[in-house]
């Protein structure tokens, strides 16, 4: 089976992991935590990178550090992974959902302004599937209404917005290192920020709210959201290879564009402000094939041994978020039942991408014949 994603791990990461193990510093203290954070800061061009257990708690930490709490409103796209919305609920704030653009899968900036009220505290922009959100208009809104811009860049390590790394542009950015992410530590996450005060608060919150000068004195309710040195060792190794991984992902996207051509498929939208990293190379089936999407995916899996993923459901379709559905999300409705994430791991070869493309074309032709 060709997996939709698999970690790209080499001897280098194994060596780092074994070194951490042999040092016996296997918990959340040890040299690899610092090395990983420093390398990440250097790559992103930020002052602070703070490791955490995953890319959900990183969002929770950011919202807590910004004192977002009871009844505050946070604007978030309705087309995203559930974690972006859940983190808002963890702090008892109110998620305010926006549609995606009609020509990209990212949040619709024009809709954002309509949803700002005197309770709005932040905009949580999510760079979906590796493409950057148009951040300048959001920054303008943040200035105008005195809001924070938070970036959920879990899916977009290395993506650039007008030449700048995403995640580094808002007040704070969040990354995930789950096994299917551009770099992985198994589970893991990172908060990045240029703000010293926020960085200090996040370090304290992730570490049980420990006072910095009196041991075992806690003056806020914090969490144990720490990453281990073992995970950081893998992460450091991955960061030494990050440019190689990103180059490969760029090649994979080029191969898909070259080999996967069919009138009933459209390729990911590309905006001139975004240098996309194609975390998950994703296609949209023509509207005519909407009801066949799941069958097409099943055939790919059973007959061709190719694993794919459906697009995310709109968050407001889920039982816990139904009450926040304040409008029809027309553009998301148009895409989410037609979208497929294709195998995208940086371990893929050109031959395999060619095989996947050829198989998809074969399946589409079959489906069209019998439709």
Ligand X SMILES: Cc1ncc(COP(=O)(O)O)c(C=O)c1O
| Among 32, 48, 49, 55, contact with ligand X (rule: CB under 6 A) | 55
What tokens does 358 get? 């050829």
Q: In angstroms, what is the minimal distance from the CB of 177 to ligand X? A: 7
80 binds ligand X (CB under 6 A): yes
For ligand X, the closer of residues 154 and 363 by Cβ is: 154
108 — alpha (psi -120 to 50), left (phi > 0) or beta? beta
54 binds ligand X (CB under 6 A): yes
Q: In angstroms, what is the minimal distance from the CB of 139 to ligand X? A: 20
83 binds ligand X (CB under 6 A): yes
Stretch that binds ligand X, among 14-22, 78-86, 98-106, 161-169 (CB under 6 A): 78-86
178 binds ligand X (CB under 6 A): yes
189 binds ligand X (CB under 6 A): yes
Cβ atoms of 130 and 159 within 8 Å: the answer is yes
* CA quadruple 125, 128, 132, 136: dihedral, nearest 10: -20
| Residues 251-280, interacting with ligand X (CB under 6 A) | none
Give the strands of the sheet with 265-266, arranged side by side. 265-266, 282-285, 339-341, 309-310
Q: Name the residue number minimizing CB distance to ligand X.
A: 55
CA distance 146 to 68: 14
For ligand X, the closer of residues 80 and 359 by Cβ is: 80
Q: In angstroms, what is the minimal distance from the CB of 366 to ligand X? A: 32
56 binds ligand X (CB under 6 A): yes
For ligand X, the closer of residues 231 and 357 by Cβ is: 231
81 binds ligand X (CB under 6 A): yes
78 binds ligand X (CB under 6 A): no
The pattern of x and - marking residues 88 through 127 that bind ligand X according to CB under 6 A reads --------------------------------------x-
Question: In a 3-state reduction of DSSP, which class is residue 94?
Answer: strand
Stretch that binds ligand X, among 52-60, 117-125, 234-242, 253-261 (CB under 6 A): 52-60
Identify the bridge partners of residue 2 per DSSP, sorted by sequence position: 306
Stretch that binds ligand X, among 113-121, 130-138, 151-159, 363-371 (CB under 6 A): 151-159
Cβ atoms of 76 and 120 within 8 Å: the answer is no
72 binds ligand X (CB under 6 A): no
CA distance 306 to 230: 32
Question: In a 3-state reduction of DSSP, which class is residue 369?
Answer: helix
Stretch that binds ligand X, among 77-85, 141-149, 216-224, 264-272 (CB under 6 A): 77-85
Question: In a 3-state reduction of DSSP, which class is residue 148?
Answer: strand
| Among 28, 84, 104, 346, contact with ligand X (rule: CB under 6 A) | 84
CA distance 194 to 165: 13
| Among 154, 165, 342, 348, contact with ligand X (rule: CB under 6 A) | 154
For 275-306, give one letter per residue: b (16+ CB within 10 A) or e: bbbbbbbbbbbeeebeebbeebbebbeeebeb
Consecutive H or E run containing 50: strand 48-52
182 binds ligand X (CB under 6 A): no
CA distance from start to end of the chain: 27
Q: Would you tell me which residues interact with ligand X (CB under 6 A)? A: 54-56, 80-81, 83-84, 126, 152, 154-155, 176, 178, 189
């Amino acid at each position: 089976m060709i997996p939709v994603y698999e970690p790209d791990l080499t001897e280098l990461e194994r060596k780092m992991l074994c070194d951490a193990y042999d040092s016996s510093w296997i918990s959340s203290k040890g040299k690899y935590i610092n090395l990983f954070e420093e390398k990440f800061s250097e790559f992103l061009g930020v002052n602070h990178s703070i490791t955490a257990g995953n890319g959900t708690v990183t969002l929770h930490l950011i919202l807590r550090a910004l004192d977002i709490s009871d009844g505050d409103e946070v604007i978030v796209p309705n087309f995203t992974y559930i974690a972006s919305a859940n983190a808002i609920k963890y702090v008892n704030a109110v998620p305010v959902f926006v549609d995606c653009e009609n020509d990209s899968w990212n949040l619709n900036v024009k809709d954002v302004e309509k949803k700002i009220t005197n309770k709005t505290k932040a905009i949580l922009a999510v760079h979906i599937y590796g493409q950057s959100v148009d951040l300048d208009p959001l920054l303008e809104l943040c200035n105008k209404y005195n809001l924070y811009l938070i970036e959920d860049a879990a899916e977009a390590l290395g993506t650039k917005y007008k030449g700048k790394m995403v995640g580094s542009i808002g007040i704070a950015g969040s990354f995930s290192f789950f096994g299917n992410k551009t770099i992985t530590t198994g589970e893991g996450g990172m908060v990045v920020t240029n703000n010293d005060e926020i960085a200090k608060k996040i370090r304290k919150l992730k570490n049980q709210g420990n006072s910095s000068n009196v041991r075992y004195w806690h003056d806020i309710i914090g969490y144990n959201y720490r990453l281990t040195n073992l995970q950081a060792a893998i992460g450091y190794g991955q960061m030494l290879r990050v440019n190689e991984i990103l180059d490969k992902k760029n090649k994979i996207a080029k191969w898909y564009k070259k080999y996967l051509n069919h009138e009933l498929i459209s390729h990911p939208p590309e905006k001139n402000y975004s240098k996309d990293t194609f975390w998950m190379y994703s296609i949209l089936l023509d509207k005519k094939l909407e009801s066949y999407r799941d069958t097409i995916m099943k055939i790919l899996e059973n007959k061709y041994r190719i694993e794919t993923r459906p697009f995310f459901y709109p968050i407001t379709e889920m039982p816990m978020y139904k009450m926040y559905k304040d409008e029809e999300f027309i553009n998301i409705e148009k895409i989410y039942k037609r979208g497929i994430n294709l195998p995208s791991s940086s371990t893929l070869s050109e031959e395999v991408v060619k095989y996947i493309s050829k198989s998809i074309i074969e399946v589409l032709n079959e489906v069209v014949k019998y439709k």
